[in-house]
Structure 1
């Protein structure tokens, strides 16, 4: 019997055999199934291993990875165009942490515990502000870690937030002055020989102060730099969709299409702000909701978003809704 050694990516004959013997549709399906079997990053080594078999496998693995939001490179890419991507957020009050998951069974009405991990965040209270560190590793929420992909900072009142990215949103962007990654009491020291990584401001989220303490819901506005990638960076302004007053229930209501089941001041829907020439006083049914967030349990919330928002941006906006805002309600 012919003896054959291991097949490597540098072996040209082996590369040809893999390409010829494995139909691309079947290979794509196999790699897709391997991706689904992995729970979270960075332990998803089997997906990466597929790209190391040969050139053909590497090309198809990269093609599959670009379509899957659970890869770190996809978390800052715009969401889908036609249908919103359905996710959910779990909150842990004991240690002020938040975890974003991709829903694996979006067609079911009930909300289950299963999901694929996307991002995590931890709240750090400071004397004059509150910071949220956003990470791709659920077990490493240190701002000095390579897993840290962004930061969210609020003012003292929790009514204005600035969103920072660990990567420049466009070529030539400059990091925040003095925005090196702080340790926040973690006890870890940064190597002085290594340059301090900075953060780049990519957006602002603001809640309108409710001076008269009326019964109206929170009013939010957001300005973000969206559409990362080859098309460059674009600015977009969002506002919360105006709710309707329900006479029978005597409350403000929004149609979440079954994705929100618990009434909460945290619930919101965001749409693109109208041009300055047009001012809508009431809600319009034809407004496309780009992001919606709502409560379904004590510490469980749904998050659905679409293009031009990315999972990273949508998650950051939703984080601003947590916490009491005495000046807004």
Structure 2
């Protein structure tokens, strides 16, 4: 699997393929999807095959338009921790994925209105019936060390840089 950052974009955009040789993402058999960020780089969404809903003809029937729209596979959000007046300290990270049904099939998140019905919108609306939401464990400030720390229950023997 390989990913390549696309140039000349206002936001970060990566094409993800199963090919080491085709880094443009144009080989349809090797193409897996893309990863895009918002302008600030705080929200990332991974998309599968399909078209951007904004580029689908609005005169098309909704059923056909939904078949053409790309899937949202995963959303990752970052936010700064607020320590005092300035955002400092470790960032918080959250990931959102569609729920897996009891049959073992993953729910499909395909919408013509991602701002209202996409993974990020569902997470912000706290709609947990369709998604799983995961968050990192926040570190605690340790006065003795003068840094944020996490307890790894003796699985880690050396501090990171």
Normalising by structure 2, what TM-score?
0.59
Contact 2:3–2:15 (CA under 8 A) maintained in structure 1: yes
Does 1:249 pair with 2:138?
Answer: no
Contact 2:4–2:23 (CA under 8 A) maintained in structure 1: yes
Write the deviation string for residues 114-141 of structure 1: whole angstroms up to 9, x where unpaired: xxxxx22112244421101112223332
Q: Which runs of 5+ in 1 are unaligned?
A: 1-118, 167-173, 181-196, 264-329
CA distance in 2, matches of 1:229, 1:250: 46
> How many residues are aligned here?
122
Residue of structure 1 in register with 2:6 after alignment: 124
Q: Within 5 Å, which residues of 2 pair with 1:44-83?
A: none
Contact 1:152–1:162 (CA under 8 A) maintained in structure 2: yes
Residue of structure 1 in register with 2:19 after alignment: 137
Aligned match for 1:223, one of 81, 96, 100: 96
Does 1:213 pair with 2:96?
Answer: no
CA distance in 1, matches of 2:14, 2:78: 17
CA RMSD of aligned residues (A): 3.3
Aligned match for 1:233, one of 96, 103, 106: 106
Q: Within 5 Å, which residues of 2 pair with 1:190-205?
A: 199-205=70-76
Question: Residues 258 and 138 of structure 1: is their aligned pair in 2 closer, same or farther, counting only changes over 3 Å?
Answer: farther
CA distance in 2, matches of 1:131, 1:229: 33
CA distance in 2, matches of 1:250, 1:149: 44
Aligned match for 1:153, one of 33, 36, 57: 36
For the pair shown, which has the larger CA radius of gyration, 1 or 2?
1
Normalising by structure 1, what TM-score?
0.32
Residue of structure 2 in register with 1:176 after alignment: 52
Alignment partner of 2:90: what SS? coil
Contact 1:179–1:198 (CA under 8 A) maintained in structure 2: no
Alignment partner of 2:4: what SS? strand
Counting strand residues as a fraction of each chain, which structure ranks higher?
Answer: 2
Q: Which runs of 5+ in 2 are unaligned?
A: 57-67, 108-130
CA distance in 2, matches of 1:259, 1:225: 36
